[in-house]
């Protein structure tokens, strides 16, 4: 939105005319906002206060994020353009317009990545004795070792493909490392195609440490690509290699499953997964010294144009560097370790602890182990009759799944709602679903057309003459590894009303029947959307009556247009609105007369901000909720999500002070969004405040 548009909107407000809140200039494009978030992650790698190996890790995370952006978002836009779609979002940008803007931003993004790697990170790593040796830097002993590595580890499993009518271009896996080779001369059969393709084996590491006795520095590494480059002529005896260049293609990773036509979702997904590796190409990456002739050959083969081409100054796929922090024993170049705390109210017997009062956990500052122990104790307790749990992302090896298997094998009623369609975790989820079924658990895959994204565990335990429900509700996945790097809330409770609500939600997921009204929880796709609108409208009405009104929301994304319009109306009525939105934000704050009471910030730090927390002043009788859902159309209307109240006064104050207000005070890792859609990083003018660092000091050992 430009200055003239802002003045026009302001003029309409001053004239007391009805403002059309559907006008496209009031909205930021979803995809461009997501790309802006990935850039904020990249800039973390430039932070002078960040340990060096963590800077490298953030560079790799930014690369991973961008890969997924192309695999999912760019691929979807390309499909829309191919089908002739001109349908636009609230911002009124057509798919083709969005693609053109993405191309400009993404090319700048990738150039910035490699400039950072070459000009800052590689030199800084070398100063610390961590070196990446190029071919012309190998001494005689190193060259011999590399030669032996090629002969013994690489050559036996390579299958170079000479391109001719009998040897068509091989299928290239999504994001795999490949080489296009130009040749001169004729082979044993008199062929002279002039071109070949070599695919790097997926079984070998991309980063190879040199033996310490051959290294001049504490840590020396060679890229697998350098080894292949050095001895590529050995793959084509009697011929001359005139050029050898890396390339990588990114493919559409969407899995198409027609849920109306299939009768077994697991089998259908199993059939689709192999095809993901060979979806339509959406991006080609080559080194910047690759000749135009080869580039044009590759573009033509993959059906791409120059807009889809990314020429890089370094190794294609910076994720090859991701293993480095684990290969180098340099704690001084990494974040300081910490030990998450445990709430003082916890006893060895978790059920006894929960009966004494709700337990609120704030990960990763507080340990995830009580959640694991909750299921483990339930599995081993003879008084426990049933365990029900939702699983979205757990990882291939999960201690929680192991506990569920133990419970099922011991004869307990175990019901697990496994979301098979969790993107990029489908294969792992299919595997764990099969394991659970083999152990005797009841496994269902949720509701057709609605992903099950809710995070719920319910344990039914016999206590005397009654059955007691114990519940865990969370904002994040049941994944013990990500629980160490994502910020999330979890609630352990035996509240009767919450237990009944969770029971009803599980019944919806496993059985058939109409939705019933819940007492405490808000639920997508039924009551959460309307519940949020009602609460925003309630604050709006309070402001109109001259009463204090305040909304704070900490979420990962804000895209739902009706929610945005409700927030605009609330701002126009005088409601103070503070939004902490980590990633996508389609709302424009600071528009005179419309959103000048709305402030938006994004926190990007050591941990991935993942909590979804909502606060409504409610005329002094404040309401606080935690949820599995963001304020996106898909979360509110197309998924099964849970949103639970924090009613214990101590816990409520903790969430407000530590989970919301502290983040609003952050002046070191906060980015402020303006009405033009630009983010500016805050610079501490007084005492520096980092929410994550403060919580580490408060809650960890």
Q: Please report the DSSP string for 232-288 in residue order.
A: GGGGSTTSEEEEEEEEEEEE--PPP--TTT-S-HHHHHHHHHHHHTT--EEEEEEET
Which residue among 38, 219, 363, 453 is the active-site one?
453
Q: Are 567 and 587 in contact (CB under 8 A)?
A: yes
Reply yes or no on whether the pLDDT at 4 is more than 60.
no
Residues 551-566, mean pLDDT to the nearest whole number: 98
Verify whether residue 301 is a known catalytic residue: no
Q: Are 475 and 627 in contact (CB under 8 A)?
A: yes
Which pLDDT belongs to residue 187?
A: 64
Q: Are 215 and 175 in contact (CB under 8 A)?
A: no
**What residue has token string 């002078």?**
48
Rounded Cα distance between 26 and 591, Å, is 8
Q: Are 478 and 496 in contact (CB under 8 A)?
A: no
Reply yes or no on whether the pLDDT at 10 is more than 80.
no
Cite the residue boundaries of each domain of the chain with CATH code 3.30.870.10. Answer: 350-520, 523-699
What is the radius of gyration, based on Cα positions, of the chain? 28
The fold adopted by the segment(s) 151-329 is polyphosphate kinase like (3.30.1840)
Sign of CA dihedral 516, 517, 521, 526: positive
- The model's confidence at residue 280, banded by pLDDT at 50, 70 and 90, is confident
Which pLDDT belongs to residue 222?
A: 96
pLDDT in tens, 101-132: 999 999 999 999 999 999 999 999 999 999 99
The fold adopted by the segment(s) 523-699 is Endonuclease; Chain A (3.30.870)
Which residues have C-beta within 8 Å of that of residue 541, sequence separation ≥ 6?
573
Query: Distance of CA 149 to CAs 143, 157, 210, 452, 584, Å?
Result: 10, 12, 10, 48, 46
Which tokens go with 635? Answer: 């979360």
Reply yes or no on whether the pLDDT at 449 is more than 90.
no
Cite the residue boundaries of each domain of the chain with CATH code 3.30.1840.10. Answer: 151-329
Reply yes or no on whether the pLDDT at 60 is more than 60.
yes
Rounded Cα distance between 43 and 59, Å, is 8
pLDDT in tens, 682-697: 988 889 999 999 999 9
Rounded Cα distance between 639 and 634, Å, is 6
Q: Are 544 and 579 in contact (CB under 8 A)?
A: no
Which pLDDT belongs to residue 264?
A: 45
Is residue 578 classed exposed, middle or buried when 0-12, 13-18 and 19+ CB atoms within 10 A define those classes? Answer: buried
Q: What is the mean pLDDT of the chain?
A: 90
Reply yes or no on whether the pLDDT at 191 is more than 90.
no
- The model's confidence at residue 257, banded by pLDDT at 50, 70 and 90, is very low
If one compares 87 and 244, the residue with the highest pLDDT of the two is: 244
Residues 196-218, mean pLDDT to the nearest whole number: 91
Which pLDDT belongs to residue 634?
A: 92
Reply yes or no on whether the pLDDT at 268 is more than 50.
no
3-class DSSP state of 388: strand
Which residues have C-beta within 8 Å of that of residue 466, sequence separation ≥ 6?
none
Rounded Cα distance between 429 and 686, Å, is 48
Query: Distance of CA 305 to CAs 82, 103, 371, Å?
Result: 14, 11, 50
Q: 202-206, 271-275, 278-282, 564-568: which has the minimum mean pLDDT?
A: 271-275
Which pLDDT belongs to residue 341?
A: 96
Cis amide leading into 364 (omega within 30): yes
- The model's confidence at residue 543, banded by pLDDT at 50, 70 and 90, is very high
- The model's confidence at residue 210, banded by pLDDT at 50, 70 and 90, is very high
Reply yes or no on whether the pLDDT at 284 is more than 50.
yes
Q: Which of 70-74, 166-170, 333-337 has the highest mean pLDDT?
A: 333-337
Q: Point out which residues pair with 458 in neighbouring strands.
A: 388, 471
Reply yes or no on whether the pLDDT at 322 is more than 80.
yes
Reply yes or no on whether the pLDDT at 192 is more than 90.
no
Which tokens go with 267? Answer: 């089998």
Rounded Cα distance between 619 and 605, Å, is 34
E-assigned strand segments in 538-651: 550-555, 576-581, 598-603, 608-609, 613-616, 623-627, 639-645
- The model's confidence at residue 394, banded by pLDDT at 50, 70 and 90, is confident
Which pLDDT belongs to residue 12?
A: 47
- The model's confidence at residue 62, banded by pLDDT at 50, 70 and 90, is very high
Residues 600-610, mean pLDDT to the nearest whole number: 97
The arrangement of secondary structure in 350-520, i.e. its CATH architecture, is: 2-Layer Sandwich (3.30)
């Amino acid at each position: 939105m430009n200055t003239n548009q802002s003045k026009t909107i302001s003029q309409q407000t001053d004239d007391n005319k009805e403002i059309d809140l559907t006008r496209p200039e009031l909205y930021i494009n979803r995809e461009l906002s997501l790309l802006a978030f990935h850039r904020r992650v990249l800039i973390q790698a430039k932070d002078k206060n960040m340990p060096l190996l963590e800077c490298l890790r953030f560079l790799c995370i930014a690369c991973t994020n961008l890969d997924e952006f192309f695999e999912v978002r760019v691929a979807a836009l390309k499909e829309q353009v191919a089908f002739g779609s001109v349908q636009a979002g609230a911002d009124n940008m057509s798919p083709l317009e969005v693609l053109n803007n993405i191309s400009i931003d993404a090319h700048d993004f990738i150039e910035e990545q490699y400039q950072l790697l070459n000009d800052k990170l590689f030199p800084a790593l070398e100063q610390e004795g961590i070196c990446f040796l190029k071919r012309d830097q190998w001494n005689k002993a190193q060259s011999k070792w590399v030669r032996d590595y090629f002969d013994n580890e690489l050559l036996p499993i390579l299958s170079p493909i000479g391109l001719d009518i009998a040897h068509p271009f091989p299928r290239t896996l999504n994001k795999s490392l490949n080489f296009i080779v130009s040749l001169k001369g004729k082979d044993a059969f008199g062929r002279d195609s002039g071109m070949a393709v070599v695919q790097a084996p997926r079984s070998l590491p991309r980063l190879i440490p040199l033996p310490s006795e051959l290294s001049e520095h504490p840590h020396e590494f060679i890229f697998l690509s350098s080894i292949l480059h050095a001895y590529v002529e050995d793959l084509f005896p009697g011929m001359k290699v005139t050029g050898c260049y890396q390339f990588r293609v990114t493919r559409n990773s969407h899995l198409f499953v027609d849920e109306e036509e299939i009768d077994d979702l697991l089998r259908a997904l199993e059939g689709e997964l192999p095809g993901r590796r060979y979806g339509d190409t959406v991006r080609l990456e080559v080194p910047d010294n690759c000749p135009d002739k080869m580039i044009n050959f590759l573009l033509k083969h993959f059906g791409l144009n120059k807009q889809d081409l990314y020429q890089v100054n370094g190794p294609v796929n910076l994720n090859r560097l991701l293993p480095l922090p684990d290969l180098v024993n340099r704690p001084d170049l990494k974040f300081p370790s910490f030990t998450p705390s445990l709430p003082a109210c916890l006893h060895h017997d978790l059920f006894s602890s929960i009966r004494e009062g709700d337990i609120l956990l704030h990960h990763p500052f507080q340990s995830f182990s009580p959640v694991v122990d909750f299921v483990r104790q339930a599995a081993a307790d003879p008084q426990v009759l049933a365990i029900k749990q939702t699983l979205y992302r757990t990882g291939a090896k999960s201690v929680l799944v192991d506990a569920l298997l133990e419970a099922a094998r011991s004869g307990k009623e175990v019901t697990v709602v496994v979301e098979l369609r969790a993107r990029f975790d489908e294969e792992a989820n299919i595997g764990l679903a099969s394991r659970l079924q083999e152990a005797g658990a009841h496994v269902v895959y949720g509701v057709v057309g609605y992903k099950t994204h809710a995070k719920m565990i319910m344990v039914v335990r016999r206590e005397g003459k009654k059955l007691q429900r114990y519940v865990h509700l969370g904002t994040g996945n049941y994944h013990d590894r990500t629980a160490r790097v994502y910020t999330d809330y979890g609630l352990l409770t035996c509240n009767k009303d919450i237990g009944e609500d969770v029971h009803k939600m599980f019944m919806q997921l496993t059985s058939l029947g109409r939705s019933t009204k819940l007492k405490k929880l808000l639920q997508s796709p039924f009551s959460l959307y309307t519940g949020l609108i009602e609460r925003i409208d309630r604050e709006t009405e309070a402001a109109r009556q001259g009463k204090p009104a305040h909304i704070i929301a900490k979420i990962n994304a804000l895209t739902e247009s009706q929610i945005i319009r409700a927030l605009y109306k609330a701002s126009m009525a005088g409601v103070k609105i503070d939004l902490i939105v980590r990633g996508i934000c389609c709302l424009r704050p600071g528009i005179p007369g419309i959103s000048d009471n709305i402030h938006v910030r994004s926190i990007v730090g050591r941990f991935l901000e993942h909590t979804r927390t909502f606060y409504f002043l409610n005329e002094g009788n404040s309401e606080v909720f935690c949820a599995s859902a963001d304020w996106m159309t898909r979360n509110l209307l197309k998924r099964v999500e849970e949103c639970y109240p924090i009613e214990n006064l101590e816990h409520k104050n903790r969430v407000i002070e530590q989970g919301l207000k502290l983040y609003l005070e952050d002046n070191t890792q906060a980015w402020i969004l303006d009405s033009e859609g630009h983010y500016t990083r805050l610079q501490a003018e007084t005492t520096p405040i980092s929410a994550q660092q403060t919580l580490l000091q408060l809650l960890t050992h």
